[in-house]
Amino acid sequence: MHFRLILFFNLVINLNAQTGSFPDCKSGPLSTYPICDQSLPSHQRASDLISRMTTDEKITQLVTTAAAIPRLGLPKFEWWSEALHGVAYSPGVSFGGDLPAATSFPTPINLGATFNLSLVYHIASIISTEARAFNNEGRAGLVFFTPNINIFRDPRWGRGQETPGEDPFLTSQYVYSLINGLQRGEDERYLKIAADCKHYAAYDLENWNGTDRFHFDARVSDQDLIETYLPSFESCVRDAKVASIMCSYNAVNGVPSCANKFLLQTIARESYHLDGFVVSDCGAVSTIMNSHHYTSTVEDTVAVALHAGTDLNCGDFYSKHTQQALYNKTIVEADIDQALQRSFNVLVRLGYFDPPEQQPYRKLSHADVDTAETRKLSLHAAQQSIVLLKNTNKALPLNLNQLMNKRIALIGPTANATVLMQGNYYGKAPFLIDPINGFQAVTQGYSINISFAYGCKISNVDQSGFAEAIELARLSDIVIFFGGIDQSIESEGHDRTSIALPSVQLALLEQLEKVVRSPLHVVIMSGSSLDLTYIRDSSQYDSLIWMGYAGQAGGLAIANIMFGQYNPGGRLPITIYPASYVDAVSMFDMQMRPSPMNPGRTYKFYTGQAVFEFGYGLSYTTFSYSWYNDSMNSIFSIEFLMKNNYDEKKVRLHLYRVNVTNTGEVAGDDAVLAFITPPKTSFNDQTPPIKKLFGFERVRLDVNEMTQVFFPLNIDALLTVALDGSKWLEPGSYKIIIGKQHIHTVQLQGQPTRWS
């Protein structure tokens, strides 16, 4: 979906959306029919309702702006609402009246950096509460096209900010917690809201080198599909039981995603057991014919989409052409019924047809939106997500008492950022605290002068602001540069060609170096990787922080961290590559493993030297790890494991216990990451992963405090994925790495054996 269209849709469609209207099952036309009988299974209720519609009426329900059917008492229904990191602008959402705003949390890439699943769940629960409150007051729908769980495989991708990062395991864990927070609440009878996992599948290109997402054919090996591109969707569908998934614009191996029966039927429904509907990305049904040229007529296009399992069309292709497909007999009415049964079943599960007085979610109101709790949580999440990348000689935190009567200069194009901190797919925030206001709030009462000079724009050759910035830096005791990128550089529909820091910002920094009284501090706002080698390596810079797009309280969060009110504990959910990476591999190359034309993607396969590694992040304190040396089996027989037919994801071989101790001088958080390093030689894989994440836990510890962190080792962490997508147990030594510390080795003995 193209975000630039959303504001237009928000103005036009919401005038008549009736998103808060519900059918009347007490005295309305449906009241005596099975759809209103709560004792019946949801599928049966939905099927009966559909059977009472005429063919023309059914067709009006196949699109996201579904028409009212007055004779049945069905109001108009808008399926398309958004809530990526807070209730957001979209056709189904409007702000105003008693609901002028919704809590704007940090973007998903920030939430990935927290490595905190309980935080993700808590935020999702708040979002679904606010979403229901909006719905109850007629300002949102019940179905939200979120989350984006595509793997952030290439730093140039404009929508990587919408994801929790580059790692399939992290993304799978994230989506499980998120979907549970969005869909499950205090009343297990009903979905709290219906979420939608997108974009299925292998979607992570917008517009690069003359090819856009509408025309891109992602050529993906079975190995990469099973190992990298599909695990997050398996977690979303099979484990979290999401209500819907969205098929993407791109084709996969020659077949458009929304016409791809193998992806939608064989994998999503038969293997993952999707019990819900598939919605197309907006306009994606038409691209089957118009962009991919997979079909040549509109009736064939309707047929391949419906037969593949695309139940709901975001757009108007179905409403325009389904009748013609019926006339030409490329489909039969049962195809329409099946699609509607899947979508209306979700409406039944949402309580759409049930009395409001028995549903706690129907009682939520504007009083449950933008509360003291949500404001506190948005700040807490922002602080947890910020990553300290450099801190020479403990230059940070800045000491408030030592800076009395001093002058701090905030210089750079993101120092006064507001909406920029919301990234994309955002809504109206109740407030936006920019860094300037954040610094002023923290230093209030300390007689510290906070001054600001813009210096330059994000990306522009104009240097007219340099002089003011340089003069301010010359007069100041501390200089903090706020740089980065914005939605003009990375966004939906727009990929990057460079991952270097914009040249005008680097030029300004070089000028500031000449006049500052002490080394500079740098804060970067971005939703993706920027080559920060120069700042990392130069003695002219004491500290470097990545703050992503930190949401409504981002400015206060960064101020709290820089002045030591909060000890940073975020870790990078992405690899930060050197700028030369973009010249080494094409964005069209979907292969994860290295090749003569590809240095490898993500920390699992990248063969070059990263600027900062996945999982990197500093703290104002130090932590030590030690293995709790309990009795355990370090040697496993492949034959024994096969005979016992263990479930690869659920059956545990061992539970590692690791002691984590705060050995520093201040309390702080540690994101403890557990990796497994497979044998370097493999029977089935020419290039095994360098390492792969199999567990993580964020803990908070006081000085000298110790806690135990538990990491279950399941069989799936030991499996090798072959080129054909099959999974194998292979003999060899598997090293368990906590952080960078090798704590144990698991030996598998026997012959390579196919697991599945």
- What span, in angstroms and rounded, lies between the C-alpha atoms of 64 and 81? 10
Before 201, cis peptide (omega within 30)?
Answer: yes
Of 179, 232, 169, 229, the residue nearest 204 (C-alpha): 229
| Helices 317-327 and 298-308: angle between axes, nearest 10 degrees | 100
Q: How far is CA 704 from CA 448, 660, 661, 668, in A?
A: 33, 10, 6, 11
3-state secondary structure of 345: helix
Residue 280 host element (H or E): strand 277-280
Q: Please, which residues have CB within 8 angstroms of residue 196's CB and are 6 or more apart in sequence?
A: 143, 144, 145, 146, 242, 243, 244, 245, 246, 279
- What span, in angstroms and rounded, lies between the C-alpha atoms of 75 and 68? 4
- Out of 154, 196, 217, 281, the active site residue is 281
DSSP 32-47: TSGGG-TTS-HHHHHH
- Sheet of strand 277-280: strand arrangement: 196-200, 244-247, 277-280
Q: How far is CA 713 from CA 380, 495, 639, 650, 741, in A?
A: 31, 37, 18, 10, 17
Q: Taking a C-beta distance cutoff of 8 angstroms, is the pair 600, 174 a contact?
A: no
Active site residue 224: no
**E strand spans, 460-513:** 478-484
Q: Please, which residues have CB within 8 angstroms of residue 683's CB and are 6 or more apart in sequence?
A: 720, 728, 730, 752
Q: Write phi, then psi, for 459 (nearest 5 degrees).
A: -145, 100
- What span, in angstroms and rounded, lies between the C-alpha atoms of 3 and 9? 10
Q: How far is CA 625 from CA 394, 662, 672, 674, 740, in A?
A: 22, 9, 9, 11, 10
The three state secondary structure string of 616-682 is: CCECCCCEEEEECCCCCCCEEEHHHHHHCCCCCCCCEEEEEEEEEEECCCCCEEEEEEEEEECCCCC
- What span, in angstroms and rounded, lies between the C-alpha atoms of 197 and 229? 13
Catalytic positions, please?
281
